[in-house]
Amino acid sequence: MSLVAKKAPHFSVGAVINGEEIIENFSLEQYIGKNHVILFFYPKDFTFVCPTEIHAFQEKLAEFEKRNTVVIGCSTDTEETHLAWLNTSKDNGGIQGVTFPILADASKTISLNYGVLGGEYIYNSDTKTWSFKGDPIAFRGTFLIDKEGIVRHESINDFPLGRNIDEYLRLLDAQLHVEKYGEVCPANWEEGQDAMKATHEGVSEYLSKH
């Protein structure tokens, strides 16, 4: 079930911040009323596509910060594994130099609540045991959460499919434009282009110009 237009699920978990410090009880609540948030999930530390995405988010971090937006990564690995990966150089497949928070969803509850866990728990009533069908790691889910804690965008990619980070900047610009001007953003809209009023007249006016 989609989370769009709903309250983002709460969490309070261990995380690594500033690329070097493990903390407990990292929460989304600290940003409510202050920042927009891009929360992205990735499958595993020490893998292949994942570091390319994480470095790509880091390279664009200043652009997100200019828009008063916090970037947060999350996988089902532990804080200690995150820290080890953060201490591994880029040349060796690591993510050294990454500074945004990375959450440790070892219990898999955040991934489950956001609908990105790559499988499901199944209960066998005959044997009274639980098993897991699928992959107990996160798909490449990405969520744009506004200052009020409401999810405004979500996308979920399968494991082999890397993200386009510029698209999340475009979506963030669109969300900020909607909030500021009350206009809606048409197909392929980018910052600086015409938006339109959400009326029949507004659509007609926009289409007549384009």
Percent over 90 (pLDDT), the chain: 93
| Per-residue pLDDT, 210 | 82
Predicted local distance difference test score (pLDDT) of residue 202: 80
Is 50 designated active site?
Answer: yes
Q: Which of 16, 50, 144, 171 is catalytic?
A: 50
pLDDT at 99 over 90: yes
Q: Can you list the domains of the chain with their CATH numbers?
A: 12-162 (3.40.30.10), 164-210 (no CATH)
> How large is the average pLDDT for residues 9-13?
97
pLDDT > 90? residue 1: no
Question: Residue 65: CB partners within 8 Å, gap ≥ 6?
Answer: none
Mean pLDDT over 131-140 rounds to 97
- Compute the distance between CA of residue 42 and CA of residue 45 in angstroms, rounded to an integer: 8
